[in-house]
């Protein structure tokens, strides 16, 4: 109990006094009248990948090939987008002079993500042939704008996934 009390005091010291006073007033008001809205209950609905996947399967997400459902492809694409965002963030916060251990971890994360993205692209090309043409056009256009060869290596977090949400409806 002593450790918990000390942790709470440390947390309180880290907050601005005005914020802490406001929160304490709200908590005291709620404790005095339990009919008031509970401060600890979520007031917004959180959407998770699991819930989206469940809804897609419940709607009858179509089977693309074998046991590969369109809902699985969608969930994998969203997860890859999140992985790319996380890699960009990690690189931004690492700074200019990362330690050897940080470099190793980043390299492992990038390698793992690269394998996943390349696998995603192969599957996407197999199940959505029009995307292969779009990918080639986008790659050439981006390379032309950057003034480099289209085959030039890209960072894994910069590879376009061409998810359905970002494509035209006729693909």
Task: Please provide the distance, in angstroms rounded to a whole number, between the alpha carbons at the two ends of the chain.
Answer: 60
- Take residue 157 and report the two structure tokens written for it: 């977090």
- Take residue 8 and report the two structure tokens written for it: 């709470």
Q: How many angstroms separate the CA atoms of 125 and 44, rounded? A: 37
Nearest to 76 by CA among 111, 127, 151: 127
The 10 Å Cβ neighbour count of residue 14 is 8
pLDDT score for 147: 60
Q: What is the pLDDT along the chain (171 residues), one digit of tens a residue?
A: 578 888 888 888 888 899 889 988 888 888 888 787 777 777 777 777 677 667 766 766 555 555 566 677 778 888 898 999 999 888 888 878 888 988 899 889 988 998 898 888 888 888 778 888 887 777 666 666 656 555 445 778 878 788 766 655 444
Helices (H), 33-69: 49-58
Q: Are β-strands 68-69 and 63-65 bridged in parallel, bridged antiparallel, or unpaired?
A: antiparallel
How does 15-48 read in b/e, with b if 16+ C-beta sit within 10 Å? eeeeeeeeeeeeeeeeeeeeeeeeeeeeeeeeee
Q: How many angstroms separate the CA atoms of 86 and 157, rounded? A: 9
The 10 Å Cβ neighbour count of residue 120 is 19
């Amino acid at each position: 109990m002593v450790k918990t009390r000390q942790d709470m005091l440390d947390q309180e010291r880290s907050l601005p006094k005005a914020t802490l006073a406001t929160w304490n007033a709200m908590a005291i008001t709620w404790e005095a009248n339990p009919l008031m809205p509970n401060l600890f209950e979520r007031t917004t609905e959180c959407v998770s990948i699991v819930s989206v996947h469940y809804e897609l399967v419940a709607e009858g997400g179509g089977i693309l090939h074998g046991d590969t459902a369109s809902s699985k492809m969608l969930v994998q694409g969203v997860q890859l987008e999140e992985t790319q965002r996380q890699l960009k963030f990690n690189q931004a916060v690492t700074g200019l002079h990362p330690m050897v251990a940080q470099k190793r971890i980043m390299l492992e994360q990038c390698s793992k993500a690269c394998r996943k993205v390349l696998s995603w692209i192969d599957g996407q090309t197999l199940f959505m042939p029009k995307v292969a043409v779009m990918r080639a056009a986008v790659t050439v256009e981006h390379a032309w704008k950057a003034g480099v060869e289209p085959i030039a290596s890209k960072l894994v977090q910069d590879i376009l996934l061409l998810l359905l949400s970002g494509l035209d409806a006729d693909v």
